[in-house]
Amino acid sequence: MKKILIIDDDTDMVEAMRIALEAVGYKVSSAPNGTQGLKTLLEFAPDLIILDVMMDTDTEGFNVAWAIRSDEDSSVYKKFKNIPILMVTSVSSEKKMKFDPKKDQEFLPVNDFIEKPIRPQQLLQKVSQYLG
Amino acid sequence: MPKEQFQRFDLRECSQFLSGSDALINLRWIAAGALFMASAAIWVFLPSLWPFPLLIISALIVFFNIFLIYLRSFCPDGNRFFILQVVCDWIFLFFVCFWTGSISSPAVFLFPIYSILVGFFLPKKPAYLIAGFGSLLIGLLSLWGTSSPLAYVIGQAFFYIIVLFFCTTIGVWASRQLREQLDLSDFLRKSLEKENDRLGQVYKSALAMNSGLDLPNVLAIITKCFNETGLSNATVIRLLSEDGLTLNIASAEGISSEYAQRGSVALKDDEIDSEAIKCKCPVFVSDVAKDERFLYKSEAERENLRSLLCIPLFSNEKAIGIIRCYTSDYHEFSDEDVEFLSLLAAQASLAISNALSYDKMVKLDNSRNAFIRMATHELRAPMAAVQSVLQIILDGYVGDVPENQKQLLSRSNDRITQLLRLVSELLELEKTTKTQDSFEPINLKELLSRIISEIAPKADSKKVRLRMFTCGDNVIIKGIEEAIFRIFENLVDNAVKYTHSGGQVTIRLLEDDDTATIQIVDNGIGIPSESIPKLFSEFYRAPNAKQEQVQGTGLGLSIVKKFVIMHGGSISISSQVDVGTTFTVTLLKEPQLTI
């Protein structure tokens, strides 16, 4: 059973995603902020992370992603360096960022974006795409 | 530059030339040359006469002149050398006269003529002494070597002596007149030069002070400009706080940073500054160490500050601060100095108040942007969460939903979608006043194609034909891409929205030298003529648009209009109900940002 970690401060959003993901058989754990999220990452050892772009600050989501992707040998998240990360953004902020996750893979710490509000089919399709 | 013209007419050089002993030496060369020419002329035209004496005199003058030039190296004082020359000349002239008929010699006339030069070039006293010496020589000539009757000789000598003194007086008078004129011109030139310099300085300073809007930078330039005037060794700007009660040192040049960081002082405690602000005029303190009102005597001593001119800064009749000009020596500022520094201070006030306003504007803009960001998040987040939850229920992830409940949930979902769009558009409307976005070149055909591909699925599902005609592939305008995109996305989306199945929407792109014109033509429901004037008002929706039950916030067109105006463009509508609508947008290729 594949495990998914959701890092998002909005509990309703987490709940909606959890229901959809558990309905198709994934094991889901969640954390309300970046620090908790990184802690849970080590304990829960997920196969994929769903990360909210802005939790308390604009950049927190990205900071978490960069911490996981760190190239340093001493990094405690070394094991998860290549874990798929899906970033949840609102449509407008994704447009503003002008990122193309495929083209900008090299400098982007996340694999793909999921639009808010969540549409279950889109979510499940993207998750299964990265979990094979 | 006017200054260069002044330099071209340097009168000092002119007067130096006149008063120098060179004049006499040059005259002697001329006299020798003239005598030589005369003797040559006599030899050629009047062979009966004997030109030899003239030639001898000419040669003697040449040798005499060379001797005098040699003597000059021993006598650096111009006046003394002049007197020496005159004495030698007159002795020489005496002998010439003696040999050529004493008092009856025509050369005696040279004495009075020469005395004009003496009077002109020498100070009054030596000039008359020399004239006395000349009289003595004339007297000797009258007594010596003449055979005429005594009474006649004395009369002649008397006549020459009177003429001699008269000519000396004329010389003295002319010289004094000329010198007065020269002095006056010199004085005028100097004061004009000074004024010119100061005006130039004011102009340069005003340019420098107003070259930027960053407050610390502007203040630093101002203090530097004041120190560069040479009238202030240390310049300190103190700005009044918002409430007008405290003075804070905002910038200082020419004093130690310790002294500059003394902190703030209450305006009422500083009598000098408060007096300057109260009387709206500069206040002068000749010695800060001895003035009761000066607060930091020991520090001033350490910093070597002596005299102080304190000039208030006003903007729109409101005091904004003080400029303090300190000198390290006792210095009485002249009226002109004070006027000049006040003029500079007025320029400084302008620059400071501009920078202060800009500073406020930037802060306001920043806080508004921060608010918009916060509001975006706070408003969108709960709605996105509600919609996500609704979607989960609607898709049956928490169990089957009966059809009637599904319908109600669907309707709730639609309303939230509408609300989300309203929030986005409201925020976007807010954002249109943003100023810092820079214009970039935009290829209109490319941009319109992107919009078409975005809206095409919607048009297809409605069976509305979407076409584009362009006059060229490279119609480039300058603008904010996001805004230009929103303009046409909105207009094309509207056109598709209000066109029935089977209809068509056509986009035309035209250009001329300075503008690009884009037309969006549809054969949709049209707009009633009475609605057209209200169309760009916020939240307005035409009655037939509402009837169509098509979702809309009534904000789209007001956003469009704001963006078009921001780019200096124009937008117009022509429409007929049930026939169709044409929106025409004209955009400048090189627009100036307007807010």
Task: Kindly report the CATH number assigned to the domain that includes residue A104.
Answer: 3.40.50.2300
What is the rounded distance in angstroms from the CA atom of residue B478 to the CA atom of residue B444? 10
Q: Which residue has the tokens 């305008």?
A: B477
pLDDT greater than 60 at residue B16: no
B445: confidence class by pLDDT, cuts 50, 70, 90? very high
- Interface TM-score (ipTM) > 0.90: no
Residue type, B229: T
**Paired sense of beta strands A85-90 and A112-116, if any:** parallel
- Residues of A in Cβ contact (< 8 Å) with B391: 16, 117-120
Residues B96, B107 contacting (CB under 8 angstroms):
yes
B384 inside 8 A of chain A by CB: yes
What is the rounded distance in angstroms from the CA atom of residue B77 to the CA atom of residue A89? 95
B376 inside 8 A of chain A by CB: yes
How many C-beta neighbours within 10 Å does residue B217 have?
13
What is the rounded distance in angstroms from the CA atom of residue A45 to the CA atom of residue A39? 10
- Residues of A in Cβ contact (< 8 Å) with B386: 12, 117
pLDDT digits (tens, 9 = 90+) for B385-441: 999 999 999 999 988 999 999 999 998 988 888 788 777 777 766 665 555 456 788
Long-range contacts of B11-14 (CB under 8 A, 24+ apart): B11/B182, B11/B185, B11/B186, B11/B189, B12/B186, B14/B182
Find the helix or strand (DSSP H, E) in which B367 lies. helix B335-394
The pLDDT assigned to B15 comes to 45
How many C-beta neighbours within 10 Å does residue B340 have?
21
Which overall architecture, per CATH, does domain B436-588 show? 2-Layer Sandwich (3.30)
What is the rounded distance in angstroms from the CA atom of residue B263 to the CA atom of residue B269? 14
The residue ranges of every structural domain in chain B are: 2-184, 215-356, 436-588
Rg (CA), chain A: 14
What is the rounded distance in angstroms from the CA atom of residue B101 to the CA atom of residue B530? 122
What is the rounded distance in angstroms from the CA atom of residue B577 to the CA atom of residue A127? 49
pLDDT greater than 60 at residue B10: no
**Paired sense of beta strands A3-7 and A48-52, if any:** parallel
Report the side by side order of strands in the sheet with A85-90: A27-31, A3-7, A48-52, A85-90, A112-116
Inter-chain contact B385–A13, Cβ cutoff 8 Å? yes
Find the helix or strand (DSSP H, E) in which B284 lies. strand B283-285
A6: confidence class by pLDDT, cuts 50, 70, 90? very high
More confident residue, A90 or B30: B30
Residues B89-123 as b/e (b if ≥16 CB within 10 A, e otherwise) read bbeebbebbbeebbbbbebbebbbebbbbbbbbbe
Q: How far is CA B446 from CA A114, B308, B515, in A?
A: 27, 66, 17
B335 Cβ contact partners less than 8 Å away, ≥ 6 residues apart: none
Least Cα separation, residue B486 to chain A (angstroms):
12
Least Cα separation, residue A104 to chain B (angstroms):
20
Inter-chain contact B385–A12, Cβ cutoff 8 Å? yes
- Substitution target from A56, A88, A96, A118 for chain B, most B beta carbons within 10 A: A118
Residues A51, A89 contacting (CB under 8 angstroms):
no
Inter-chain contact A19–B397, Cβ cutoff 8 Å? yes
What is the rounded distance in angstroms from the CA atom of residue B344 to the CA atom of residue B359? 22
Q: How far is CA B359 from CA A53, B211, B263, in A?
A: 32, 15, 21
- Residues of B in Cβ contact (< 8 Å) with A117: 383-388, 391, 420
Q: How far is CA B300 from CA B222, B255, B262, B294, B326, in A?
A: 22, 10, 12, 9, 10
- Neighbouring C-alpha atoms within 13 Å toward the C-beta of B397: 22
Residue type, B449: S
Q: Which two tokens stand for residue A119?
A: 């549409």
What is the rounded distance in angstroms from the CA atom of residue B211 to the CA atom of residue B364? 22
- Per-residue pLDDT, averaged over B97-109, amounts to 81
Q: Which two tokens stand for residue B133?
A: 């010496």
The domain in which residue A15 lies consists of 3-131
Of all residues in chain B, the one with the smallest CA distance to A53 is B377
**% of chain B at pLDDT higher than 70:** 91
**% of chain A at pLDDT higher than 70:** 83
The pLDDT assigned to B282 comes to 93
Supply the mean pLDDT for chain B.
84
Rg (CA), chain B: 48
Residues B229-250 as b/e (b if ≥16 CB within 10 A, e otherwise) read bebbbbbbbbbbeeeeebbebb
Say which DSSP state A4 is in.
E
pLDDT digits (tens, 9 = 90+) for B212-227: 888 889 999 999 999 9
The pLDDT assigned to B422 comes to 77
Residue type, B428: E
Say which DSSP state B267 is in.
G
B7: confidence class by pLDDT, cuts 50, 70, 90? very low
- Substitution target from A11, A90, A96 for chain B, most B beta carbons within 10 A: A90
B375 inside 8 A of chain A by CB: no
Which overall architecture, per CATH, does domain B215-356 show? 2-Layer Sandwich (3.30)
pLDDT digits (tens, 9 = 90+) for B166-186: 988 998 899 889 888 988 999
pLDDT greater than 70 at residue A106: no
**Number of independent structural domains in chain A:** 1
pTM above threshold 0.90: no
Residues B289, B256 contacting (CB under 8 angstroms):
no
Instruction: Provide the 3-class DSSP secondary structure of residue B146.
Output: coil
Inter-chain contact B388–A118, Cβ cutoff 8 Å? yes
pLDDT greater than 70 at residue B3: no
Lowest mean pLDDT among B101-110, B142-151, B306-315: B142-151
